[in-house]
Structure 1
Amino acid sequence: MTEKKSLLPTLSFTLLDSYEEPDLWRQAIGKNAKGVLVLSAENEALSRDLFNFLKKVLEAVQIQLEEEALLLLTTPEKHLSFARISREKDIQVLISFGLPAKNLGLHWSVNLYEPLTKNGCLFLFAERLSLIQNDRERKLRLWKALQKIFTP
């Protein structure tokens, strides 16, 4: 009896969670005391002006950025894994500025500025901070969405 050999090549590989670097949290800012993850995806580094704007926005809903939240700076093209993030950090609320759900491995249909709850986590997807900062209508939409999340 002859042994049949497969004509298909055999590949050896390791599955990775995503395209992210292993030192993801080294560049994060904050202590995450309230389980609030803020993602900011700008095309350039977050300026001091945008950082201060973000701090004021969060303070308006009683969240102190450095103590109660965790800020992760990224780019709009970056792919992260929310599954990995939620395994490594206690995340109750995720606010994404400029990073779409699909770039987090979340293949849901989402509307900007409309909070949604999935698997016990509140999600809010918004435009980049640089677009919101000087636009009254976008600021108002963000404010209303944040109130829905953080006002009892």
Structure 2
Amino acid sequence: MPKTENDIPTSQFFDFEIFPLNDEFTGKITGGNKRNILVLTIPAPDQSDHQFLGKVLSAVQVDIHDDIALATAEKAHNFNLVELVGVTGAEVVLIFGVKPLSCGLNINMKPYQPVLHNGTKYLLCNQLGEIAQNQQLKRHLWSALQQIFPTKDR
């Protein structure tokens, strides 16, 4: 293949891994999404993880069935989260067990520290099962959710 003036060797230009993204999320999306909250979890939660998520969300007055769009997949795959945010109209995105780069987010995110990016709040977290078994992770999640969903009662 002939070299053109715009050919730039990626090893010299990019300081991060480049991989193709599917524009389409190949998992399952459920829920009423009345409050434009996208919850992304990979792997898909088992019954106990789903109950745990429901309890955590209800503590900040978010109903797991009516208020959120729950996007789940059995295994990790590369996809475009921005596209998924657009499709769901999400204003808040809670990410459980997904690496930001695998879903096309090239923003500096630290776990349990909410980030506002292009008008959408993002929160990166461990897998639900890990959080359910770890008191420190539960505290981190609770603190972050209180920042994202403040109430007058607190």
Length-normalised TM-score, structure 2: 0.79
CA distance in 2, matches of 1:145, 1:92: 16
Q: Which residue of 2 aligns with 1:131?
A: 130
Alignment of 1:28-39 (within 5 A): 28-39=29-40
Q: For the structure 1 residues 127 and 113, does the alpha-carbon distance in structure 2 shift closer, same or farther, using more than 3 Å as the test?
A: same
Q: Secondary structure at the match of 2:72?
A: strand
Whether the 8 Å CA contact 1:61–1:147 is kept in 2: the answer is yes
Whether the 8 Å CA contact 2:42–2:96 is kept in 1: the answer is yes
Q: Which residue of 1 aligns with 2:140?
A: 141
- Offset, 1:22: 6.6
Q: Kindly, what percent of the aligned residue pairs are identical?
A: 27
Aligned: 1:63 with 2:62: yes
Q: Which residue of 2 aligns with 1:84?
A: 83
Length-normalised TM-score, structure 1: 0.80
- Offset, 1:18: 2.9
Q: For the structure 1 residues 107 and 61, does the alpha-carbon distance in structure 2 shift closer, same or farther, using more than 3 Å as the test?
A: same
Residues 4-51 of structure 1: per-residue CA shift (max 9 Å, x gap): xxx64xxxxxxxx83265765xx2120111010001112xx4211111
Q: Secondary structure at the match of 1:65?
A: coil
Q: Hey, which bits of structure 1, 4+ residues long, moved more than 6 A?
A: none
Whether the 8 Å CA contact 1:28–1:73 is kept in 2: the answer is yes
Q: Secondary structure at the match of 1:28?
A: strand
Which segments of 5 or more consecutive residues in structure 2 lack a partner in the other structure? 3-19
CA distance in 2, matches of 1:99, 1:49: 19
Q: Secondary structure at the match of 2:109?
A: coil
Which segments of 5 or more consecutive residues in structure 1 lack a partner in the other structure? 1-6, 9-16
- Offset, 1:75: 4.8
Q: Which residue of 2 aligns with 1:11?
A: none
Whether the 8 Å CA contact 1:31–1:69 is kept in 2: the answer is yes
Q: Secondary structure at the match of 2:66?
A: helix
* Number of positions where the alignment pairs a residue of Structure 1 with one of Structure 2: 135
CA distance in 2, matches of 1:22, 1:59: 26
Q: Which residue of 2 aligns with 1:46?
A: 45
The letter for the 2-side match of 1:19 is: N
